Structure 1
């Protein structure tokens, strides 16, 4: 998978991306709403190898994609099939220092269009921690609608958390 926008390149991860991806996931603030703790020097290799292994989107395999701006990895996009016919879920994490420049919006919009057009998916969804206001705003900016708010439905990092589900159909694209 390879997607090019006005400012960004979205492509599969390569070995040389490891240190830049580590910078994203080594940030405690960035990882506060994710399902895992921040990466450490001790576990970064194992975590990054999983991203490299996720190189083809199929019913049984997710894909992890690097978002590059001026040849630097600034984000990580993930896509996986949910088990519901022609439905995928997207996840995204970006370098905190690039916030507010529209990179997340640009890359997620491009990814969703690509999934609808090239993979023929019926539905794209995102499930997120309800406290993650930046992620909520991103979903709204890319045209997704809030479809559900589950109260204390997920145990994560020693606490019950609320989840919000956003969704979009191919017919929702502008």
Structure 2
């Protein structure tokens, strides 16, 4: 179940989004200030943050910057009642995944959430794939007990201690 953190100083928006998103199957945590939101982010490690730009203690852009310092891949959807292009550009340049104007359109929010969570999922898959090659090629993973394979294991053991380049040859399909 994906976790969503909502940071908005308007209690009614937090409660409405909490109710709606919970019904949609998300685990939701809300915060009414930037400081409370940053603490909740560290505690819950959400998959997505919905962040208001205007907060009573810390500017939403500062919160966005702090969130990205904590996790550079965090997906943040910024929301605001102010409709100016400069704010939108600043949010996107600051690393926001999307930007939605209040009053929040549920369909627009749903689409933004789905896209953000899909992007997060893809990043995690890519990170997993990038980690696999180092795990994939261990000597202990080689199967074989014949005399020839024992000789190969000895050779691999000797060669692995040096910076020697090795050319492995053999017929196609033999598992070189």
Same fold (TM over 0.5): no
**Comparing both chains, which one has the higher relative contact order based on Cα–Cα distances under 8 Å and sequence gaps of 6 or more?**
1
TM-score normalised by L of structure 1: 0.30
Greater helix share, structure number: 2
TM-score (norm 2): 0.30
